[in-house]
Amino acid sequence: MSYQASATLDAETHDAITIDRSKGDFTFPERNKFDAGRGLSAATVDYICDVKNDPPWLREFRHKALQVFLAKPMPTHWASKDLDNINFDEIRYYLSDGEKPKRSWDDVPDDIKRTFDRLGIPQQERAFLAGVEAQYDSEAAYSNVKEELTKQGVIFVNSTEGLHQHEEVFRPWFGKVIPTSDNKFSALNSAVFSGGSFIYIPKGVKLKQPLQAYFRINSENFGQFERTLIIADEGSELMYMEGCTAPKFETTTLHSAVVELVALKGAKIQYVTVQNWSSNVFNLVTKRGLAMEDAEVRWIDCNIGSRLTIKYPGVIMKGRRARGEVISIALANTGQHQDTGAKMIHAADETTSNIVSKSISVGKGRATYRGQVHIPKHLKGCKNNTECDALLINANSRTDTYPAITVKGNRHSTQHEASVSQVSEDMLFYLMQRGLNQGQAMSLAVNGFINDLVREFPMEYSVELKRLIDLEMEGSVG
């Protein structure tokens, strides 16, 4: 009996994860003007600073972060031992083709256009690529911010541009929601980050269309270290969508992003993620939002890909009546471990939070929910609701739930519920009676299980999500 999942990838597992990857299974020739080489040292950090022309305060910040990263132990005393398989010396920490961000669609190189083709962006939507900040190996290769947004005073640039051109807005909040020393991987990101988005929405501006960014990893063994900072000023509203697919590689790739959201008084931020990294990617992400008075931060998170994902989107509710929400779907196939969850830190009166998490374990996949709800003393009227449901498809699928709830004082209420179940034989029998094959019946049942959460996603994402789940469920039964 093993209490810790096996850390090695056996042949069977490897075979299993090399299927169903048609969507992201392609690469383009690399042409990198700047390459920081393999491994991480003070010299790597200096190289990145030089290339990106970082101001002195940032150089100092990165060096300090590197020290923190080196000093912190791996969190393997609670997290998966699989983390020990990351070889930090094998990873290249910075690559860039050195070209300036593009302004018009015609300027975008053909191979990147082909990437968009494979990502399935429809023709008519491309003309409407307003606000798309597409990441190609961490640097914005294409960036076309619709003129109206600029007129409204919205800033939507990559993080490098943000800190160079909008330092007065960027710097006061940078690293404030997630301090460098929050965890080992936030420290790593702080030392070597490049790319990611910086968004500022001025007071009272309510964006009708979501902002999007597509992230891609395209160099073998190259980790992406995006840094995203979104500031929604008083009364503003925004939805940000981030979708990832990655080409398939044979050796391990590391992705470690830091995403900070700041919702000032009365602002609303929705952050939507569809994560479909290939099954060799370590996806170790720190995401946290700060919600001031009457503000709302919602994380809508879907994890389908990667080898190991460790991600607990969090909300710190700092102002009265602030609201935090995490809606999470995880699908773990053979060879995958989705270690996801949520953190809700109540720091003001009458704050409310809601966590709904659904996970599906297929084959030998392992899905874990890990959550923290904290309601400190001297607050009143705080509420939390947590629901975790897990669905097991095969006999050797695995699921775990580890919530931690702290409530101090008596004017609060929290509830936590979790259930584990499987698709019932009766349901499958019923569907097969009506002419579906077993795989289709299973897919239908699984889609039904997550349907109420999928509806929370924007339309085009929910369609893509259902298709991805169908793809993952292929060959899981019979």
Residues that bind another protein (CB under 8 A): 1, 3, 77-78, 377-378, 380, 390, 392, 394-422
Q: How far is the CB of 78 from another protein (least distance, A)?
A: 5
Residue number, 77 or 455, with CB nearest to another protein: 77
| Cα gap 399→429, rounded to integer Å | 25
Residue number, 23 or 383, with CB nearest to another protein: 383
Residue number, 266 or 403, with CB nearest to another protein: 403
CB hemisphere CA count around 199 (13 angstroms): 31
| Cα gap 334→363, rounded to integer Å | 5
Residue number, 223 or 363, with CB nearest to another protein: 363
Cα radius of gyration (the chain): 22
Structure tokens at 291: 């919600």
| Cα gap 52→400, rounded to integer Å | 42
Residue number, 252 or 397, with CB nearest to another protein: 397
Residue 365: other Cβ atoms inside 10 A: 28
Residue number, 250 or 417, with CB nearest to another protein: 417
Q: How far is the CB of 378 from another protein (least distance, A)?
A: 8
Q: How far is the CB of 255 from another protein (least distance, A)?
A: 26
CA 92, 192, 181, 169 torsion-angle sign:
negative
Give all strands (DSSP E) within 264-381, no chain letters.
Answer: 268-276, 281-291, 296-303, 308-311, 314-317, 323-332, 337-346, 352-361, 366-375
Q: How far is the CB of 368 from another protein (least distance, A)?
A: 9
Residue number, 108 or 379, with CB nearest to another protein: 379
Torsion angles phi and psi, residue 20, rounded to 5: 60, 30
141, 229, 263, 470 from 444: Cα distances, Å: 39, 38, 38, 8
- Residue 146 DSSP code: -
Q: How far is the CB of 396 from another protein (least distance, A)?
A: 7
Residue number, 248 or 366, with CB nearest to another protein: 366
- Block residue for tokens 């790597």: 44
Q: How far is the CB of 293 from another protein (least distance, A)?
A: 23
Residue number, 2 or 8, with CB nearest to another protein: 2
Residue number, 103 or 380, with CB nearest to another protein: 380
Residue number, 124 or 410, with CB nearest to another protein: 410
Q: At 445, which amino acid appears? A: A
Helix ranges (H only) for 120-242 are 123-126, 147-151, 159-165, 167-173, 184-192
Q: How far is the CB of 189 from another protein (least distance, A)?
A: 23
Q: How far is the CB of 337 from another protein (least distance, A)?
A: 13
| Cα gap 297→317, rounded to integer Å | 9
Residue 71: other Cβ atoms inside 10 A: 10
Q: How far is the CB of 418 from another protein (least distance, A)?
A: 5
Q: How far is the CB of 442 from another protein (least distance, A)?
A: 13
Q: At 432, which amino acid appears? A: M
63, 190, 200, 423 from 180: Cα distances, Å: 11, 6, 22, 43
| Cα gap 203→26, rounded to integer Å | 42
Q: How far is the CB of 469 from another protein (least distance, A)?
A: 20
* Chain centre to alpha carbon of residue 287: 8
CA 207, 260, 267, 460 torsion-angle sign:
positive
